[in-house]
Structure 1
Amino acid sequence: MQSIPQGGVCLIVRKFSLVEKDVDPDQFQQITQCLEKTAEDDYIAIFGPLKGGNESMDMQQELERLGLSYLDDFYALDLFLPSWLSVAFAFRPQ
């Protein structure tokens, strides 16, 4: 189970998509280097929280330019939670 970071939008990337879509690892690293990777396992990488709506939209556009598709390959989760609540999730293979 992975926990979602508090305080804004986070990007969840399905790591197999990077291989499946033949995404250049150096380009992916360059795009995500300014983001905090808050969790990672064999299946997903979580970045965030992102600052403001523009950063989230910019990152989504950059990932799409690499050939990734929103929903199928990555997801932007905009979930503000009070400090007393946390949400966790797990990758579900299809």
Structure 2
Amino acid sequence: MAEKAVDLSAVMREFNFADCFDESDRLVSLGPFFGGDAADACMRSLERLGLVYFDDFFIVEQTYPGWCEVEAF
């Protein structure tokens, strides 16, 4: 986001979030978004902000049990 000059606060305002779902130095996780329509709307919103799907963000549309943890590096 920094390379594209997209401010995280603009993303948070777009989705009316007070906090990120999770955050590290290199990755910000937003959500949850429920259903394919919500995921599509999320993608369109991020693209309007100047981000590019797959290069800058991706959407995980799977349901995981509570004991399963997904990490990205």
Asked if these proteins are the same fold (TM beyond 0.5), I'd say: yes
Matches within 5 A, 1:1-94: 18-34=1-17, 37-83=20-66, 85-91=67-73
Deviating above 4 A after TM superposition, structure 1's stretches of 4 or more consecutive aligned residues are: none
Unpaired runs of 5+ residues, structure 2, are: none
Change (3 A) 1:27 1:38: closer
Change (3 A) 1:74 1:86: same
Q: Cα distance, 1:36 vs. partner?
A: 6.1
Aligned length: 73
Instruction: Pick 1 or 2: higher relative contact order, CA cutoff 8 A, min separation 6.
Output: 1
- Residues 47-82 of structure 1 show CA distances to partners (whole Å, capped at 9, x for unaligned) of 122122221111110100111011110000011123
**The structure with more strand, counted as a fraction of residues:** 1
Identity %: 32
CA RMSD of aligned residues (A): 2.1
CA contact (8 A) 1:40 1:46 kept: yes
